[in-house]
Structure 1
């Protein structure tokens, strides 16, 4: 048997109840929300094995500039490779070559943030951001080696 997910009172529990209520009853939106809220208040915690898919509201069709930007960023996986591992195994040139695969400044910043590598926000050119990432990763690797000795 697989391990379940523990839900505490809050948004996730409310969403869980709302999804089940909408799927299994014919209550209107207001009634479903009231029942989900009442159940969330009545339950301290629960263990669930399957989270229902949340329904997409009609108002979500309109995207703001922020959500459009997030949608573009979602197509990029900042954990595609580990910068530390690439630097340790393939050296500086190997890391630069892998960073060349990332074609957007937004994606480079997301990569740096996900890899816990500080990059100056003032940098705009792709090559400058890549150089800053390489320098920060080199420093991080040096710090790790120094701490291990």
Structure 2
């Protein structure tokens, strides 16, 4: 499993963590001779990315009692082709109803897209070929990503 935790560089109202889980695809990745310590899985246009999303609120009351509440929990699945084409728009669309200032949502979407591209190899030539249009007999694989966003209240 590869994971990261990031906080915006300016005083922030949110923090997030994104991790990829390769457990379901371990045999496939092993058969392709992947060393996940140094290689990123190469996605095909039909491969699926499944995002497990948790948005939590973090607050400390006047008695110094810390509270962590779930604001939003969802699963969103997207083809790697669609993610490659829509990237930030897709991320914003799944988080649009959260109470983020628009500039924070934009920054979060940019960072998440960059991190997903760091976790996986989106071969631009392959995504621009006929295979990206659904032509071909490639077996689709599913990759799970866990996204946790903590909002300070």
TM superposition score normalised by structure 2: 0.29
Q: Which has the higher strand share?
A: 2
TM superposition score normalised by structure 1: 0.29
Q: Which has the higher helix share?
A: 1
**RCO higher in structure (CA 8 A, sep ≥6):** 2
